[in-house]
Amino acid sequence: MTWGWRALALGCGLLLTLAFAPRDIWCLALLSPAVLIWLWSRAPSAREGAWLGFAFGFGTYAAGTWWLYIAIRVFGQAPVWVALVVMGALVLIMAAYQAALGYVVVRWLSARRPVGWLLLVPAAWVLLEWWRGWFLSGFPWLSLGYSQTDTWLAGLAPVGGVHLLSAMLLIGAGALVTLIQASGPARGSLRAVALVALVLPWTLGLSLRNVEWTHAEGATRSIAILQGAVPQDLKWLESNQKKILDDYAALNKQALGADLIVWPESALPDVANVYAKYIGGVWSDSDAAGSGVLMGVMRVDDDGIRYFNSVLGLGKSEPEFYDKTHLVPFGEYFPVPHAVREWLRLMSLPNSDFNAGAHDQPPLSVADMKISASICYEDSYPTSLHVATRESGLLANVTNDAWFGRSGARYQHLQIARLRAIEGRRFLVRAANDGVSAIIGPSGAVVAQAPEFTQAILRGRIQLRHGTTPYLVAGNYPVIGAAAVLLAIMVLGPLIRRRRSTI
């Protein structure tokens, strides 16, 4: 029976990944956690609760992040065993988080009672989701709330962000367990409470879905997003550099006249310092046509030592840079000792570091717009972007999801960007090397999208928006604080009363 339960938990973890893009079977984000909570309610020991959580987490992250193999092995040219070790380490760490949650739930959080299903388990799960999103750089991928970008629940995102959506899903999951398992004289009342807990968040989300929160300002602006579609295996070949430069120059020339032209991450095949004349030509032509440019570049600082992954803003004044803050471990920096770096060099693996940009960088000022920029997956760290977002009228993300081939990673990443637009109630322009390049509206809808894997210019219009949402003001503090206080009251309260009774 024990192994059967673990297999069921593993299967539910696997199924959970289908709740996210590109499958978008959103109800699985409600049903899969409900089955796990039900399994925890029947676990004979805290140790078994940990095994159930581990199996669930292993299934989720093995199925949900398998595309790392493409980046590490296919394009990174690492040996197969290195790719499997790195992937396995990530999956095991994420599964260990869920195992710790399972142990705590069964040991201390009333796993067999409605108060646990409806309140304590959701609170602990959300705290864990928040923790793994920032601890030791963090990995916020596959947070439950991202699965709800196209549901009524998304109306709550401007109020409390992705973690509020996760909390509502988990309360709903606990409500399903309560509807099934409630017993005793209060069974009818418990089921009534559970039904309200299941339905109310969706009703609130629907009622808030059309609230503007921010206001439009000025005339609409024209946008042109350049998608070079450079194959990742040709990106850094010296023999291909001229073609890349020529292709982007031609695309930019075709886009002239748009108010803002956006290039993807690391569009140039070497550091920007090498291409000062080339960039100057692009800037001169664009300025003459009345166009501002956002260009994803790598650059070396004036000290000649520090390297940055950046967005270069070319407007009417001096060039401006936004430097990426959240770097990818083992992709953009290597948190390993010197001896390991030497081994990486012998293995012919990338081993140089980028430097992280300063926190709370101001928005870029280009084409008479204040633009909050982000690079690649750092758009999955919303609170680090809050200051710039509040001061901006437009969001922009440049990325290169070609690292993950034709896998679902690019669609998961687009889904994350869509939630950022909803939380800030602003347009978001997204330039990707080979897709998914898109213009996303303040409601999270994709209003324009370029064909994937082909060279293209995506044109559209956006409206600058100003003002703020509750989430941009308070961030995660209300949701995380409420979860922490609830756990403290429900768990520590009885312990304190018990201790006092023995004095």
| Regions of the chain with pLDDT less than 50 | 345-351
Tell me, yes or no, if 324 is annotated catalytic: yes
Q: Which of 48, 129, 320, 324 is catalytic?
A: 324
Tell whether 269 and 189 lie within a shared domain.
Answer: no
Say if 346 falls within a structural domain: no
Say if 353 falls within a structural domain: no
Q: pLDDT value at position 384? A: 87
Q: pLDDT value at position 399? A: 97
Structural tokens at position 125:
């799960």
Say if 338 falls within a structural domain: no
Tell whether 186 and 235 lie within a shared domain.
Answer: no
Say if 344 falls within a structural domain: no
Tell whether 15 and 164 lie within a shared domain.
Answer: yes
Tell whether 458 and 487 lie within a shared domain.
Answer: no
Q: Which of 12, 129, 376, 423 is catalytic?
A: 376
Q: What is the pLDDT of residues 103-131, one digit of tens each?
A: 999 999 998 999 999 999 999 999 999 99
Q: What is the pLDDT of residues 480-492, one digit of tens each?
A: 999 999 999 887 7
Q: pLDDT value at position 496? A: 63
- Count the domains in the chain: 2
Q: Which of 48, 265, 332, 423 is catalytic?
A: 265
What CA–CA distance (Å, rounded) separates 158 from 211? 9
Q: pLDDT value at position 481? A: 97
Say if 18 falls within a structural domain: yes
Could you identify the residue written with the tokens 């297999």?
7
Structural tokens at position 105:
């739930």
Say if 343 falls within a structural domain: no
Tell whether 231 and 208 lie within a shared domain.
Answer: no
- What is the domain extent for residue 66? 2-212+475-501
Tell me, yes or no, if 376 is annotated catalytic: yes
Q: pLDDT value at position 359? A: 87
Q: pLDDT value at position 273? A: 94
Q: pLDDT value at position 265? A: 96
Tell me, yes or no, if 235 is annotated catalytic: no
CATH number of the domain that 401 lies in?
A: 3.60.110.10
Q: pLDDT value at position 338? A: 57
Say if 334 falls within a structural domain: no
Tell whether 97 and 144 lie within a shared domain.
Answer: yes
Could you identify the residue written with the tokens 């940990």?
50
User: Which residue, among 304, 305, 334, 307, has the nearest Cα to 321 in the 3D structure?
Assistant: 307
Is residue 110 within 8 A of residue 46, CB to CB? The reply is no
Answer positive or negative: Cα dihedral of 474, 478, 481, 484: negative
Tell whether 97 and 234 lie within a shared domain.
Answer: no
What CA–CA distance (Å, rounded) separates 448 from 428? 11
Q: Pairing relation of β-strands 215-216 and 221-227?
A: unpaired
Tell whether 371 and 283 lie within a shared domain.
Answer: yes
Q: pLDDT value at position 195? A: 96
Q: How far is CA 436 from CA 452, 455, 463, in A?
A: 6, 12, 21
Tell whether 111 and 192 lie within a shared domain.
Answer: yes
Tell whether 191 and 282 lie within a shared domain.
Answer: no
Q: pLDDT value at position 55? A: 98
Tell whether 270 and 311 lie within a shared domain.
Answer: yes
User: Which residue, among 473, 401, 438, 110, has the nearest Cα to 232 in the 3D structure?
Assistant: 401
- For the question of whether the overall pTM of this predicted structure is more than 0.85, the answer is yes
Tell whether 207 and 296 lie within a shared domain.
Answer: no
Angle between helix 121-132 and 28-42 (nearest 10):
120
Say if 321 falls within a structural domain: yes
